[in-house]
């Protein structure tokens, strides 16, 4: 027996549907090909080993929609109906699944977005007083004007040609790229901890950009933390092992300048590119540190928000959460 045994008319209709779908996808790609890249990104979550005698909330970050990143389509399939929300400070959006106490419905979610990413340069925008205060202030792991920064800033001041924000930003970039090593050894790295980066001089992207943020803000230069996932340009599809983060700094009269110091340390040939340009090799989800999306996170803010945040009975859950991220 043939798996598909169609009449001529059905076969024609089937082919027409696929041709129309192909033209739609081609149209998306063609429309954006001259200024970016189109890909799909899938975010999958399963929360296991959660007892049913208490209510469970699962918060999933959502990708941003802005001038750099357009969401062409989206699909969220979850085992429980969800609601949308956003944090009051940064406007980060999320999808929330709620399971009442006594319910044993499995907690699963699969979300896919068709995304267009631009090559990003400096954003010529004004800075409001509220944003300036927000992006000059300290975070729990990101101190500002702390004595631990003084020796590093002394070296930066000695290396820069003048005291302008542009020159200072570049001097900070060069110092961080030259003096912090990208590696994941032992424990302590990965928290975006300026104190760790100052003392150990290694870490992942969060540690690089925590230190950069502390140095920039201490110099009166607003710095904004952004996080998402890498989406490699050198392969057509694959699984993504974890997040990636970067920053933007605000230069008066120019706007927000994208900077990726950790990738510059990993790939020296990209050093000039990654100071002021952001390739299409990523998808952005959220911005900011010390995030509040619930009563529990108001007491203990999220360090950053890229993986699922789970609460059981209104308290943070530390059990197993399975995730899988992929693109094509």
Q: How many angstroms separate the CA atoms of 77 and 109, rounded?
A: 6
pLDDT of residue 123: 86
CATH of 35-119+294-327, one of 2.70.50, 1.10.10, 2.60.40, 1.10.600: 2.60.40
CATH number listed for the domain at residues 129-279? 3.10.620.30
Q: What is the pTM of this model?
A: 0.89
Q: Are strands 37-47 and 107-117 parallel, antiparallel or unpaired?
A: antiparallel
Local structure of 206: helix, strand or coil: helix
pLDDT of residue 34: 54
Common-topology check for domains 35-119+294-327 and 129-279: no
- Using the 8-state DSSP alphabet, how is residue 289 labeled? S
pLDDT of residue 49: 84
Instruction: Identify the burial level of 113 via C-beta atoms within 10 angstroms of its C-beta, where 0-12 means exposed, 13-18 middle and 19 or more buried.
Output: buried
Phi, psi angle pair for 310, to nearest 5°: -120, 135
Q: How many CA atoms lie within 13 A of 51 on its CB side?
A: 3
Q: How many angstroms separate the CA atoms of 180 and 223, rounded?
A: 19
| Residue-by-residue pLDDT tens, the chain, 328 positions | 333 333 444 344 433 333 433 443 444 443 444 579 999 999 999 998 887 899 999 999 999 999 999 999 999 999 999 999 999 999 999 999 999 999 999 999 999 999 999 999 998 889 999 999 999 999 999 999 999 999 999 999 999 999 999 999 999 999 999 999 999 999 999 999 999 999 999 999 999 999 999 999 999 999 999 999 999 999 999 999 999 999 999 999 999 999 999 999 999 999 999 999 999 999 999 999 999 999 999 999 999 999 999 999 999 998 999 999 999 9
pLDDT of residue 230: 98
E strands, the chain, in order: 37-47, 56-61, 69-78, 82-86, 93-99, 107-117, 181-182, 202-203, 223-230, 238-240, 244-251, 255-259, 282-287, 309-312, 315-316, 321-327
Q: How many angstroms separate the CA atoms of 94 and 86, rounded?
A: 6
Distance of CA 246 to the CA centre of its chain: 8
**Domain boundaries along the sequence of the chain:** 35-119+294-327, 129-279
């Amino acid at each position: 027996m043939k798996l598909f045994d169609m009449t001529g008319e059905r076969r024609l209709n089937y082919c027409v549907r696929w041709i129309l779908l192909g033209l739609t996808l081609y149209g998306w790609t063609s429309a954006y090909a001259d200024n970016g890249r189109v890909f799909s990104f899938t975010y999958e979550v399963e929360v296991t080993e959660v007892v049913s005698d208490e209510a469970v909330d699962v918060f999933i970050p959502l990708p941003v929609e802005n001038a750099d990143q357009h969401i062409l389509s989206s699909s969220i399939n979850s085992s429980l109906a969800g609601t949308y929300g956003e944090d009051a400070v940064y406007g980060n959006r999320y999808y929330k699944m709620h399971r009442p106490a006594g319910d044993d419905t499995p907690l699963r979610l699969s979300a896919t977005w068709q995304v267009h990413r631009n090559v990003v340069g400096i954003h010529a925008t004004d800075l409001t007083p509220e944003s300036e205060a927000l992006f000059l202030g300290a975070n729990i792991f990101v101190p500002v004007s702390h004595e631990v920064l003084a020796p590093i800033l002394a070296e930066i001041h000695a290396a820069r040609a003048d005291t302008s924000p542009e020159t200072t930003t570049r001097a900070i970039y060069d110092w961080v790229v030259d003096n912090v090593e990208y590696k994941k050894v032992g424990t302590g790295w990965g928290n975006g901890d300026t104190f760790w980066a100052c003392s150990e001089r290694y870490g992942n992207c969060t540690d690089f950009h925590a230190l950069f943020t502390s140095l920039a803000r201490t110099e009166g230069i607003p710095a904004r933390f952004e996080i998402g996932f890498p989406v490699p340009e050198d392969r057509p599809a694959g699984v993504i092992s974890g997040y990636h983060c970067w920053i933007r700094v605000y230069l008066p009269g120019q706007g927000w300048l994208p900077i990726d110091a950790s990738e510059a340390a990993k790939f020296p040939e990209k050093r000039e590119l990654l100071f002021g340009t952001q390739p299409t090799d990523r998808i952005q989800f959220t911005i900011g540190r010390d995030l509040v999306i619930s009563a529990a996170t108001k007491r203990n803010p999220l360090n950053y928000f890229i993986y699922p945040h789970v609460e059981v009975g209104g308290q943070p859950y530390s059990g197993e959460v399975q995730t899988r991220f992929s693109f094509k």
